[in-house]
Amino acid sequence: MAIGIVQEETVDDAMRSVLTRLLAEGVEVSSKRGHNVEIQGAHLVITNPLSRLSRSLARGKWFSCLGELCWYLAGSESLSFIGHYIREYEKEAEGDRVHGAYGPRLRGERDQLRHVIDRLREGPGTRQAVVQIFSAEDLRDGCKSPPCTCVLQFMVREGAVTLVVYMRSNDAILGLPHDAFAFTMLQELVARSVGAGVGDYHHIAGSMHLYDAGRQQAKHFLDEGWHSTDAVMPPMPEGDPWSSIELLLKCEEAVRLRRDYSDSMQRLDPYWADLVRMLAFHRAKKESDVDQMRLLVNEMHCESYTRFLARFMRETS
């Protein structure tokens, strides 16, 4: 069963379309991870990649999405890093190492993300600005966590960066919101790095599926109804973002390890400082520090974040 092309403005709208079709038309498949329904060759187009964060409390994984992005940008494969945000990685780890981690593949010794930016600066019309995630090594017997993502291709067309992502496998309820967030953030980072706008985001999955264990979550999400189409995240500041990213990663580590980060925080633009506050809110939430959570909400610059966090505190208390 093929889904064809689904074009929506926001990640919420794209998820709603995909989940509706999976529940109605998905073909039953049995895999080593359990029974699921599947659509082959799913092609989603999100026309406003800045609408990358779900407004749904049921699927609004704001903290884990941001933590996972930092994990990627830091080039890390550490379980202790990502485990602070996503416990499920414990199932895929080999000691403190997650073999399928995207960070070393994106930002390792051969920094593919930097290579892509250089290629696009040299020739905006290039079709060679490709990041390879899945490799031949991932086919070896006993590989515990082969990457679901195969390649990311960045293209500058009509003054904007388009990103096309191909995935061999994608869980529509667990993986899709995280992948759409991280990859559209990379898309915007590349766009700022080359002085271009942000174009469409294309998300192609050989197998888009929903496991039986995720059906209740999917139905809960669909029962919430349509969400706002307003862009959740403000646009990234103009100019090269990499000095800000380095400060963001320093702050993330300090927040996670309970260290002082005030000096780095003072040097950040409000856009990036708000992301640090989101990470700090997650830390305070884990520690049930309600006073600190309230303080961070009040310090936010972005009204969308303030509204979501206030609603989160109200409806999860």
Over residues 53-81, the pLDDT tens digits come to 887 755 558 899 999 999 999 999 999 99
Q: Which CATH superfamily is domain 5-223 in?
A: Thymidylate synthase/dCMP hydroxymethylase domain (3.30.572.10)
Confidence of residue 311 (pLDDT cuts 50, 70, 90): confident
Report phi then psi at 152, rounded to 5.
-125, 125
Residue 203 vs residues 23, 46, 53, 153, 219: alpha-carbon distances, Å = 20, 8, 16, 11, 22
For residue 11, the surrounding DSSP H or E stretch is helix 11-25
Determine which helix (DSSP H) or strand (DSSP E) holds 40, and give its type and residue range: strand 34-46
Residues 6+ apart with CB under 8 A from 140: none
pLDDT at residue 97 is higher than 80: yes
Instruction: For 246-260, write each residue's pLDDT tens digit.
Output: 999 999 999 999 999
**Other C-beta atoms lying within 10 Å of the C-beta of residue 290:** 12
Residue that the structure tokens 């329904």 belong to: 37
**In this structure, which amino acid lies at residue 17?**
S
Specify which residues 82 forms β-bridges with.
none
Please report where in the chains the tokens 């980072």 appear, as a residue: 189
Contact (Cβ atoms closer than 8 angstroms) between residue 145 and residue 102: no
Tell me the residue length of the chain: 317
Dihedral in degrees, nearest 10, Cα atoms 153, 156, 160, 165: -10
Per-residue pLDDT tens for 11-37? 999 999 999 999 999 999 998 889 999
